[in-house]
Amino acid sequence: IKVFDVTNENDRQYIIMEYVEGQTLETVIKNNKKLPILESVSIVSEVCLALDYIHTQKIIHRDIKPSNIMIGNDRNVKIMDFGVIRDTSVTNATPTGTIIGTLSYTAPEQSLKNMDHKVDIFSLGTVLYELVTGFNPFQSTTYADTFLRIASFSPDPPSRHNPDCNGVLDEIILKSMEKNPNKRYSSAKEFYKVLTKFIESYKTANF
């Protein structure tokens, strides 16, 4: 989403952004539970392009989740809320042990000082998992249990919860959610290329 200005007034900080008519992905999920495979993958592939851009600007979003993804009435997909970004070009690292973002979408290493852009890939993979299954695999009733699930729980393949998924999509999603960041996609652009290739093959197989 376009950010026009960042300002401070009466000791309160403000981000001035464009107004977009539409609804958040969180609202879409609540209304539909889970989305068709192609729609889910297409939305996430567009988010990948946005992430690729901000990552090349040395920015890590750190709070990718359905409520921060806007689906405009024109069907354009936009990332919102740049209030907790990390600018890797400056040395203002968050203290080790501090978790920034929404826990159930947070990568295991996000509280570490040397985290990188791959935390956004983990979060986006979790969003895609939720889109095709209808639930977040890490969300639990308590903060402690959610934290434990992110650290040690391996989610089921999405196809166990949605027969429309196939083994290829299972592998794509689970790779994006690997605990070890070195086993995830190396960049949002790589994630995008894999998703677009899947879209092409899925259309061929189902239409």
| Chain segment 90-125, per-residue pLDDT in tens | 455 444 444 555 888 999 887 666 678 999 999 999
Whether residue 131 contacts residue 43, with contact meaning beta carbons closer than 8 Å, is answered with yes
Q: Which of 63, 81, 156, 164 is labelled catalytic?
A: 63
- Tens of pLDDT, residues 193-207: 999 999 999 888 775
pTM of the predicted model, to two decimals?
0.85
Let me know: does 94 contact 131? Beta carbons within 8 Å.
no
Known catalytic residue at 63: yes
Going by pLDDT thresholds of 50, 70 and 90, the confidence category of residue 10 is: confident
Reported as type and span, the H/E element at residue 55 is: helix 37-56
Q: List the one residue out of 187, 60, 167, 188 whose CA is nearest residue 115.
A: 60
> 22: how many CB neighbours lie within 10 A of its CB?
16
